[in-house]
Amino acid sequence: MVRLGFIIGFIALIGVLLSGLAAYRVHDQELTIDGIALARAIDVHASLVQDRLTERELLARVAAGLFRTPSVVKASMLEPLRSSIYAFKTDFVVAGWVARLKPAELDMARGELASAGFSDPTIRNYDDKPLDPRSIDKPIDVLMDVEPRNFETRDFPGRALDQQPVIGPMLAQAMAAGKPVASDPTPLLRRNGPVGLVLAAPVVPQGAAQLAGFVTFSYELASLMLTNDDLSLFSVVLKDPRGDDRELIANDQGVVTSRKLAPDSPPPSATRTVSFGNRDWSLGYYAKTNSIRRAEQTAAIVAAIGLSLTGIVCGLFGYVAYNNLRLSREIQVRIGFERRLTAVIDELNHRVKNILAVIQSIVTRTLRHGSDIDVARELLIGRIHAMSNVVSLLSESQWQGVKLRGLFEARAIPHADRIAVSGPDVAVSARAAQSLSLLFFELASHSDEGLSLVGKHPHIVANWEVTGEEPDTIFRFRWEEFNTSEATRRPDSDFGVILLDRVAPEALGGTSKRYFTEASYVYELVAPMQTVVDMNERDRTEQISAPIR
The ranges assigned to domains in the chain are 1-289, 291-545
Residue 396's nearest CA partner among 440, 438, 426, 433 is 433
Cβ–Cβ under 8 Å, residues 548 and 340: yes
Q: Where would I find the beta strands (DSSP E) of 164-255?
A: 181-182, 186-187, 195-203, 213-220, 234-239, 246-250
Contacts for 240 with CB less than 8 Å, ≥ 6 apart: 185, 246, 247, 248, 258
Sign, CA dihedral 210-213-215-218, equals positive
Contacts for 164 with CB less than 8 Å, ≥ 6 apart: 126
Bridge partners for 374 per DSSP: none
- 453-457 long-range contacts (CB < 8 A, ≥24 apart) are 453/483, 453/484, 453/485, 453/488, 453/519, 454/483, 456/483, 457/415, 457/418, 457/483
- How far apart, in whole angstroms, are the C-alpha atoms of residue 165 and residue 156? 16
Amino acid at 215: V
Which pLDDT belongs to residue 266?
87
φ/ψ (deg, to 5) at 127: -95, 20
Question: Helices 291-328 and 334-366: crossing angle, nearest 10°?
Answer: 160
471 cis-preceded (ω within 30 degrees of 0): yes
481's enclosing H/E stretch is strand 474-482
Amino acid at 100: R
Amino acid at 136: I
- How far apart, in whole angstroms, are the C-alpha atoms of residue 388 and residue 309? 10
Cβ–Cβ under 8 Å, residues 68 and 206: yes
* Beta strand 459-467 pairing with 419-422: parallel
Superfamily of structural domain 1-289: CHASE domain (3.30.450.350)
415's enclosing H/E stretch is none
Amino acid at 4: L
pTM greater than 0.75 (yes/no): no
Residue 404's nearest CA partner among 385, 423, 387, 384 is 423
Residue 361's nearest CA partner among 492, 498, 525, 532 is 498
Sheet holding 419-422, edge to edge: 419-422, 459-467, 474-482, 520-528, 511-516
CA distances from 183 to 24, 194, 229, 260, 261 (A): 50, 15, 27, 21, 23
Residue 541's nearest CA partner among 400, 428, 346 is 400
Bridge partners for 428 per DSSP: 402
CATH class of 291-545: alpha beta
The DSSP code for 233 is S
Angle at 532 between CA 531 and CA 537, to 5 degrees: 70
Cβ–Cβ under 8 Å, residues 159 and 195: no
523's enclosing H/E stretch is strand 520-528
Distance of CA 465 to the CA centre of its chain: 47
The DSSP code for 196 is E
pLDDT per position in the chain (549 positions), as tens?
Answer: 677 778 888 888 888 888 888 888 888 888 888 889 889 999 999 999 999 999 989 888 888 887 665 566 777 777 777 777 777 667 889 999 999 988 888 888 888 888 888 888 888 898 888 888 778 888 999 998 898 888 888 889 999 998 899 999 999 999 999 899 999 999 998 888 899 999 999 988 776 778 888 999 999 999 888 887 777 888 999 999 888 889 999 888 888 998 888 888 888 989 999 999 999 999 999 988 888 888 888 888 988 898 888 888 888 888 887 787 777 777 765 676 667 666 556 656 666 676 666 676 667 766 665 566 776 677 777 777 777 777 777 677 666 678 888 887 756 677 777 888 899 888 888 778 888 888 888 888 777 654 444 455 668 899 999 998 888 899 999 999 888 888 777 777 777 788 888 888 888 889 999 999 888 889 999 999 888 886 665 555 555 455 555
Cβ–Cβ under 8 Å, residues 188 and 223: no
- How far apart, in whole angstroms, are the C-alpha atoms of residue 418 and residue 460? 6
Contacts for 79 with CB less than 8 Å, ≥ 6 apart: 145
Contacts for 195 with CB less than 8 Å, ≥ 6 apart: 185, 186, 187, 188, 220, 221, 222, 248, 256
Which pLDDT belongs to residue 544?
46
Which pLDDT belongs to residue 310?
87
Amino acid at 261: L
258's enclosing H/E stretch is strand 256-260
Question: Helices 2-65 and 291-328: crossing angle, nearest 10°?
Answer: 160
- How far apart, in whole angstroms, are the C-alpha atoms of residue 86 and residue 80? 12
Angle at 69 between CA 113 and CA 202, to 5 degrees: 85
- How far apart, in whole angstroms, are the C-alpha atoms of residue 272 and residue 50? 10
